[in-house]
């Protein structure tokens, strides 16, 4: 009888210990911490939040489509790629610190195959009046916004203007309309454009009106 009681007591104590240890791991994991038993270390993790309608890769591995949250990421350097059929890729490299959340909600994917059509404008000063150039400057091949350096190109840049959301800058380089984020990343080529005139974005940036070879065109870019 005594032996049975001792066995039951040991079983009871072991069950409580297992429960406490399991609860500890669950709570620490849910709180964004990782327990390393081998090295006897507890480290705080990070989080990635992506708001998009595209597919998402993290360091070359698919992690989701549309709005996605990835918790308990080990702190370090990562690269995110957003992509969908018919559009140019968008990428961002970032360093994730312990306890930090990297939030990506400013990504815009532009079409890869753009088909312009001729377009009529009301006045001869259409581009001068409607192109948003506030705070932008060109210094040879350098693009500067509000006094901050954006990027440097090997040849002269022309037609500098803001994209609709002011997170991107449009410019003409080597007979092409290009667009770049204000941090100097995600530089892409949109369309061929043979003029130095700035462009005008319409419909919240979904369309662009531009001059090329003396003619005016409009194209859907998103």
Within a domain: residue 109?
no
116 Cα distance to chain centroid? 27
Within a domain: residue 97?
yes
Within a domain: residue 169?
yes
Domain range for 75 is 44-104
Q: CATH no. for residue 86?
A: 2.60.40.1120
Within a domain: residue 110?
no
Within a domain: residue 111?
no
Same domain membership, residue 173 and residue 213: yes
Same domain membership, residue 24 and residue 93: no
Closest CA relative to residue 84, chosen from 67, 58, 66:
66
DSSP of 69-124: EEEEEPSEEEEEEEE-TTB--EEEEEEEPTT-EEEE----PPBSS---EE---SST
- Condensed to tens digits (0 to 9), the pLDDT of residues 15-29 reads 665 555 444 444 444
Length of the chain: 222
Same domain membership, residue 95 and residue 123: no
Same domain membership, residue 80 and residue 161: no
- Condensed to tens digits (0 to 9), the pLDDT of residues 38-92 reads 545 556 899 999 999 999 999 999 999 999 999 999 999 999 999 999 999 999 9
- Condensed to tens digits (0 to 9), the pLDDT of residues 170-185 reads 999 999 999 999 999 9
Same domain membership, residue 197 and residue 139: yes
Within a domain: residue 192?
yes
Within a domain: residue 39?
no
Same domain membership, residue 166 and residue 213: yes
Q: Give 203's DSSP letter.
A: G
The arithmetic mean of pLDDT across residues 144-149, rounded, is 91
Is the pTM higher than 0.95? no
Same domain membership, residue 128 and residue 80: no
Write down the pLDDT at residue 15. 60
Which residues are CB-neighbours of 75 under 8 A, at least 6 positions away?
Answer: 43, 44, 45, 46, 96, 97, 98, 100
Number of domains in the chain: 3
């Amino acid at each position: 009888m005594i032996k049975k009681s001792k066995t039951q007591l040991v079983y009871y104590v072991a069950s409580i210990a297992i429960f406490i240890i399991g609860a500890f791991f669950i709570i620490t994991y849910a709180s964004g911490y990782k327990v390393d038993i081998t090295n006897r270390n507890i480290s705080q993790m990070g989080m990635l939040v992506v708001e998009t309608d595209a597919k998402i890769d993290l360091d070359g591995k698919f992690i989701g489509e549309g709005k996605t949250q990835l918790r308990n990421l080990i702190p370090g350097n990562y690269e995110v790629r957003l992509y969908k059929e018919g559009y140019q890729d968008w990428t961002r490299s970032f360093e994730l610190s312990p306890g930090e959340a990297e939030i990506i909600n400013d990504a815009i994917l532009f079409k890869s195959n753009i088909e312009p059509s001729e377009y009529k404008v009301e006045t001869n000063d259409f581009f001068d009046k409607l192109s948003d150039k506030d705070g932008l400057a060109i210094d040879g091949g350098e693009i500067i916004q509000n006094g901050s350096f954006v990027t440097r190109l090997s040849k002269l840049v022309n037609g500098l203007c803001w994209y609709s959301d002011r997170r991107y800058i449009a410019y003409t380089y080597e007979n092409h309309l290009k667009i770049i984020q204000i941090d100097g990343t995600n530089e892409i080529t949109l369309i061929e454009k043979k003029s130095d005139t700035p462009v005008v974005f319409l419909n919240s940036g979904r369309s662009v009106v531009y001059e090329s070879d003396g003619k005016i065109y409009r194209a859907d870019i998103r």
